[in-house]
Structure 1
Amino acid sequence: MSPTTPTTQTTPPTWTITTTEGITLTGHQPDWSQDNPSHTDITLDQAINHLRDHAHYTMLPIDPVLPPATLDITINGTHYRESTSLMFATQIACHPYSTQPHQQVPTASLTIVEEWDFEGLTPADLAHIATQIRTQADYFENTVLPALVTARENWAAHHQTKADLP
C-alpha cells in the first residue's frame, strides 16, 4: 500500500473586530469582497453600528467595447452636456447585518449610466433585465439598424451635397 498524502483544508477567510470591552467578533470574509470590516479598539456599540452599515462588495469589470455615453441635462435652466464611460457597470454587494433580510444575501446592482442604478437585484431580477436588454438589442439590430441603413441610402441617393449646389 502506498501512503496517502494528507489533504490540507484551507480555512475560509474571516474578518475580526476587537472591542474595547474585550469582545471579539468574527465573520466570513468573502474572497470576492473588496472591503473588510475588521477593526480594533472600538466599543461594542460602535462595532454593531459598523457592521450594520458594512457591505461586502465587488465592482465587476466594465465592458470596454461600449462607447462613452453623452448625457444632456438641464438643471435650473442651465444646460449641461456630460460624457461618461460608465455604462452597464455591475456590482455585487451583501449587507450581512442589515435589518432588511433581502440585503443579507448577495445582490447585484446595475448602473445603466452614471447615477442611474438598479439596486438590490435578485438573480431573477437580473435575468429579467438581461432578457429586456437582449430584446432591446434585437430591436436595435432588427428594426432600428435596417431603418437607419435604408434612411441613409435614401438620403445618399436624393440629398444634394454642397458640391451639387449652384
Structure 2
Amino acid sequence: MITTTTGETATGHLPSWAEVDPSEQEVPPEELAVRLADINHSLKLPGQVLRAYSPANPTGRPTPVEVLHGSIDCTPYATAPELTTPVVNLLLAGEHWLTDLGPTDLTQLAGGLRALAARLEDDVVPALIEARTEWTTYHPHTAGVRQ
C-alpha cells in the first residue's frame, strides 16, 4: 500500500514471489503516479556459471561468468496492458538480454537450449575428439594439453 501525505491510498496485489514490498508512507500526492509507475515486482533467477574469456580481464585467462540469469518481473501499473503480466527477463551474458518472455517464449527457449545441448554432445564433442585425434597425429607434443 502506498499512502500519500493527504491520506490517499493505492493498493494492489503483492505476489508471494516478490522479493520487495513496495509499500510506502507519506508520499507527496504529486509523486503518487510516478511511484506507482516505478513499481516492479521481481524475483531473481540464478543462471549457470561458465568459465569465459573477457577483454576486461587483464590476465587473459578465463574467469567465471554467470550466463542466463535473470528475473521474473511484473510492472503492475505499466501503461501497456501486456506489460502488467509477469514475464521472464534473461541476461545472456554481458549486456545481452532476452526480455518479456511469456510461457510460450520460455518453452521455445528451453527447446532451443536442449537442441543446442544435444548438438554440443552429439555433434560438437565427437567432431572435437576427431579433430584432436587428427591434430595429435601430426603434432604429438600437444596430446593431452587441454582435456
Sort the TM-score into its range (normalised by shorter chain). Answer: 0.7 to 0.9
Structure 2 unaligned spans of 5+? 143-147
Per the TM alignment, residue 40 of structure 1 is displaced from its structure 2 partner at its CA by 0.8
Per-residue CA deviations over 1:3-62 (Å, capped at 9, x if unaligned) read: xxxxxxxxxxxxx11111111222111121112211111123312211112100010123
Whether the aligned pair in 2 keeps the contact of 1:86 and 1:114 (CA below 8 Å) is no
Whether the aligned pair in 2 keeps the contact of 1:69 and 1:113 (CA below 8 Å) is no
Q: Does 1:33 align with 2:13?
A: no
Per the TM alignment, residue 97 of structure 1 is displaced from its structure 2 partner at its CA by 0.3
**Which secondary structure state, in structure 2, belongs to the residue aligned with residue 71 of structure 1?**
coil
Structure 1 unaligned spans of 5+? 1-15, 74-79
Counterpart residue number, 2:5: 20
Per-residue CA deviations over 1:62-87 (Å, capped at 9, x if unaligned) read: 34xx42332348xxxxxx99845221
Counterpart residue number, 2:128: 148
Counterpart residue number, 1:117: 97
**Which secondary structure state, in structure 1, belongs to the residue aligned with residue 127 of structure 2?**
helix
Query: If you compute each CA radius of gyration, which structure gives the higher value, 1 or 2?
Result: 1
The structure that is helix-richer by fraction is: 2
Counterpart residue number, 1:128: 108
Q: Does 1:107 align with 2:90?
A: no
Per the TM alignment, residue 144 of structure 1 is displaced from its structure 2 partner at its CA by 0.9
Counterpart residue number, 2:145: none
Decide which of 39, 48, 64 is 1:54's aligned counterpart.
39
**Which secondary structure state, in structure 2, belongs to the residue aligned with residue 144 of structure 1?**
helix
Whether the aligned pair in 2 keeps the contact of 1:72 and 1:82 (CA below 8 Å) is no
Q: Are the structure 2 counterparts of residues 160 and 68 from structure 1 closer, same or farther at C-alpha, using a change threshold of 3 Å?
A: closer
Superposition misfits of 4+ residues, deviation over 6 angstroms: none
TM-score normalized with structure 1 length: 0.75
TM-score normalized with structure 2 length: 0.84
Whether the aligned pair in 1 keeps the contact of 2:51 and 2:62 (CA below 8 Å) is no
RMSD of aligned alpha carbons: 2.2
Q: Are the structure 2 counterparts of residues 82 and 140 from structure 1 closer, same or farther at C-alpha, using a change threshold of 3 Å?
A: closer
Per-residue CA deviations over 1:65-120 (Å, capped at 9, x if unaligned) read: x42332348xxxxxx99845221103100000000111101000111113211111
What amino acid maps onto 2:53 in structure 1?
T
How many equivalent residue pairs? 139
The sequence identity of aligned pairs, in percent, is: 32
